[in-house]
Structure 1
Amino acid sequence: MMRSMGVAVLRITVIDGQGGGIGKAITEKLRKNLPKETEIIALGTNALATALMLKAGANDGASGENAVVRSVAETDVIIGSLAIIVPHAMMGELTPAMAEAIAMSKAPKILLPLNRCGIDVVGVYAEPLPHLIDHILKKVKDLMEK
């Protein structure tokens, strides 16, 4: 965790691509429900996704492969869909270098089990996106308490 004036500040990185709608929804929920000191970083596979997350309340953002590869090493938590650890996901926007950097990051990863990349996670039941985002918020709050 980062320190700001002696107070531990959680740095959360939200990663999304394509239209950026999932990242936007996650960022909005986090911003509304976490302490204002919480730093939310928006990483998009494209500028549109990043812009939507910034508009939703992210503190900072960047787009593209190098931004993702460099930033995931310096974060406390990574949030996104399961696709962010799958090379060539999001219609090819998620590069192998991005997927590897995210998967190899020491930060805990909170991933949405959305079946958009041909992977079914057994034992996970389909829920509406707003319910899944509520689960993300709970996991983040649990991490903050530790």
Structure 2
Amino acid sequence: MAARTKARKRALDVLFEADQRGENVLEVLNSRLSESGRETPLPEYSAQIVRGVAERWLEINTLLSDAAAPDWTLQRMPAVDRAILRIGAWEILANAEVATSVAIDEAVELARDLSTDDSPSFVNGVLGTIARDAPALPSSTE
């Protein structure tokens, strides 16, 4: 498994954990960075993803809500799909180092491996809409 693929999976773990526990994403991230336990330390790209998603939380959630079908609110989506979509949206819109097609493909693969049978096509559709219609988000270094 490629390093960035592993990093995306670990970022998904942090986002999913925060969502399920109702905790602040950055607090969960900081906890994982300081106390990795028996796991290998969190890759730097995982931390970059989580920080990027947290920094653009409201913008990303708005874009996801707008791109999904009207009856699929963020709250109605499976938590793992929300996390996957947040990662994919951030990579598409705020990380120029990742090609849009790669971000979408990686998100679809995560959905295929970790979510429902319908999730890969749902994730593909939402991220495809975002890639087509949404403006890029300013990077945090600008």
Q: TM-score, normalised by structure 1?
A: 0.27
More helix by share: 2
